[in-house]
Amino acid sequence: MLDESLLRGLPPFSRLDRAQIREILDLAVSRRHEEGTAIFREGDDADRFFLLLDGYLRVIRTTPGGDQIIVLHISPGQLFGIAPALQRDTYPATSVAAAESIALSWPVRLWSDFTTRYDGFATESYKTLGQRLGQIQETLTELATQAVEKRVAAALLRMVNQSGRKTDAGIEIAFPVTRQNISDMTGTTLHTVSRLLSAWQKDGIVESTRKHIVVTDPHALVVLSGPGA
């Protein structure tokens, strides 16, 4: 049986008492997802909505030309797959586990019940949705208007701000990230990402190994992503 402490303090459930959280957990299914596993795909029927308990997710959209772009990452404690909030019956994007992850899910038929019965659930859900749409718009604007170097620097900074943890070497991105992932985030080629990371490593700005990036000079990365870069 899942413990109520899993949800206590998370924004969608922070106003609820223990009995209400117990009701919600009793209706949930818990599942572990291996790194690289698609939890659902763009265009699939939206039959469930989810809460990420542990791990990180990549959200991927397909462009009209058929290219796949990583538009954002989702951190632990956040709802995802909330198609009902968009008045959709299919998922608008693909969700892939960026690291081994654990998620709760509920049948989509419970969405309206949750939003009406549980104080704060609807407010926090729509706040999350607004933030996500803002992040996606920011990413798409960068793709359309910014030079490649600035796009790559901005993408690294977003991951650092979302998941960064301090180490002796600098600030480590907490989930596995490859150069191909960064290419998919920034609409550029793998060769260009590799060239930039190699140059930045030589300049002491990052340390990059397979699936592992540490930002050793965050200020320099901010400068690279800024308007004057």
Q: What is the pLDDT of residues 70-103, one digit of tens each?
A: 999 999 999 999 999 999 999 999 999 999 999 9
How does DSSP classify residue 90?
A: B
Average pLDDT over residues 3-20: 91
Q: Retrieve residue 49's tokens.
A: 């909505």
Amino acid (one-letter) located at 190: L
Q: Which residues constitute the domain of residue 11? A: 4-139
Provide the CATH number for the domain around residue 163: 1.10.10.10
Instruction: Provide the pLDDT for residue 228.
Output: 56
pLDDT at residue 175 greater than cutoff 90: yes
Residues 11 and 65 in one domain: yes
Amino acid (one-letter) located at 76: P
What pTM was computed for the model? 0.87
Q: Retrieve residue 52's tokens.
A: 């990420």
**Alpha carbons 211 and 11: distance in angstroms, whole number:** 31
Last residue of a domain, one of 139, 170, 199: 139
Average pLDDT, rounded, for the chain: 92
Provide the CATH number for the domain around residue 122: 2.60.120.10
Average pLDDT over residues 212-223: 95
pLDDT at residue 229 greater than cutoff 70: no
**Alpha carbons 104 and 130: distance in angstroms, whole number:** 22
Span 108-127, pLDDT tens digits:
999 999 999 999 999 988 99
Span 18-55, pLDDT tens digits:
999 999 999 999 999 999 999 999 999 999 999 999 99
Last residue of a domain, one of 139, 167, 196: 139
Last residue of a domain, one of 85, 108, 139: 139
**Alpha carbons 50 and 36: distance in angstroms, whole number:** 17
Coil, strand or helix: which one is 150?
helix
Closest CA relative to residue 49, chosen from 4, 112, 123, 101: 112
Instruction: Provide the pLDDT for residue 66.
Output: 84
pLDDT at residue 59 greater than cutoff 60: yes
Coil, strand or helix: which one is 145?
helix
Residues 97 and 11 in one domain: yes
H or E stretch including 143?
A: helix 121-145
